[in-house]
Copies of this chain bind each other. A is one copy, B any other.
Amino acid sequence: MFKPKISVILGNVGSCSDRYCTGGYSEPLTVEEMFERVKSIEGVTGVELVGTWHISSSNKNQIKTLLKEHGLQLVSIIPDHFGEAKWKNGAFSNKDAGIRREAVEVTKEMMDIAEELGCSLISLWPGQDGYDYYFQADYIKERTWFEEGVAECCEYNPDIDIAIEYKVKEPRNRSYPSNVYSTLLMVKEIDMANCGVTIDYGHGLVAYENIAESIAVLKKYGDKLFHLHMNDNYTLWDDDMIVGSIHTIPYIEMFYWLKRTGYDRWISTDQYPYREDGRDAVNESVRWMETYIDVVNRLDDNKVEKIINTGNACEASAFLRELLFK
């Protein structure tokens, strides 16, 4: 029985802003209120926190208490390498050695907090590590700095996994860990057992990835899928919508491959419900994920494997139609 654990990135249930509506699409919520909201969603047993925004050395005890009170596990910390002006030209790959140092220090600090709070995963999202314009970057040097910085963090505490989350663009026009392959190359270069990859469903779609294939690729090259962020989009931009609101069949294939590759780690929602009630939008995502998990558990694996091994598109089509519409 395939039963991944489901968690929520805390900010998902809060307020969102964008570059136009800078004051936010709804009233801001406190960390306590967001914990309450997460707790109210059936099936969620963990929470993922962003450094600076939700967790720091100064509030870690409060967070510890909140986790305990709400019976939620701390699944991962995402160090803030993207949310403050100082990171604007990159964190680990910044041309300024001082900022690169700071990127490493911030990560180590979050690793310490994670360990203290019983959490064994850091999900790195180096959103500012990349470039915008032609002739602006030294692709070799900056990529190497990136790998060296992450390697230093991995070495710092082998008990804490570090998963790099890739994204082809935004906020930079071009990112270094751009797709699953680019990131795997980095992971292989870093060459540490505790270094792996976070797939964000929507980031993969924008990179024209079929997520089931990305999962398989991570399995093949060293079993490196460490974490998952879930949402949906129209395939051209990281719209961060409700899971299952746009796609259907690709989720079935994706969850099937999670089952097939024995994935037993966490799956977090990662949304930006600008105009929806954040709690309800995350709840919808969880309901869809549970539905898909249920679907792939009920599948006749022999039948599926036969279809995959034959590769007949018409058989796959008939199988899926029957699955969806009896």
Interface residues of A (CB under 8 A from B): 16-26, 82-85, 87-89, 95, 127, 131-140, 143-144, 168-171, 173-174, 178-179, 181-182, 184-185, 188-189, 207-208, 210, 212-213, 216-217, 219-221, 233-237, 239, 241-242, 244-250, 252-253, 256-257, 272, 274-277, 280-281, 283-284, 287-288, 291, 295, 304, 307-314, 316-321, 324-325
| Cross-chain contact of A316 among B133, B140, B310 (Cβ < 8 A) | B133
Q: Once bound together, how far apart are the Cα atoms of A180 and B168, in whole Å?
A: 14
Top-9 shortest CB links A-B:
A181-B181, A248-B248, A139-B216, A181-B182, A280-B314, A133-B313, A135-B316, A284-B317, A134-B253
Residue of B nearest to A81 (CB): B20
A324 touches B245 (CB 8 A): no
Q: Is the CB of B317 within 8 A of A84?
A: no
Q: A281–B134 contact, CB under 8 A?
A: no
CB proximity of A190 to chain B, nearest CB, Å: 13
CA distance A185 to B221 in the complex (A): 9
How many Å from the CB of A290 to the closest CB on chain B?
A: 10
Min CB distance A76 to B, Å, is 18
A212-B139, A236-B208, A317-B244 known; A20 vs B132 contact (CB < 8 Å): no
Contact A242 B314, beta carbon cutoff 8 Å? yes
* Nearest-CB residue, chain B, relative to A173: B239
Instruction: Tell me the bound Cα distance from A282 to B234 in angstroms.
Output: 26
Q: Which residues of B contact A179 (CB under 8 A)?
A: 179, 181
Contacts of A24 in B (CB 8 A): 85
CB neighbours of A220 from chain B (8 A): 139-140, 143-144
Residues in B with CB closer than 8 Å to A314 are 242, 276-277, 280-281, 283-284
Q: Is the CB of B85 within 8 A of A313?
A: no
Question: In whole Å, how far is A223's beta carbon from the nearest beta carbon of chain B?
Answer: 11
Complex CA gap A174/B208 in Å reads: 9
Shortest Cβ distance from residue A314 to the other chain B in the assembled complex, whole angstroms: 4
**Contact call A237/B237, Cβ cutoff below 8 A:** yes
A136 touches B311 (CB 8 A): yes
Partner of A185 from B184, B276, B325 at Cβ < 8 Å: B184
18 A–B contacts, CB within 8 A, in A order: A20-B83, A21-B83, A23-B85, A25-B85, A25-B88, A134-B249, A136-B311, A138-B308, A173-B237, A181-B182, A188-B188, A189-B221, A207-B208, A242-B314, A276-B314, A284-B318, A284-B321, A287-B318
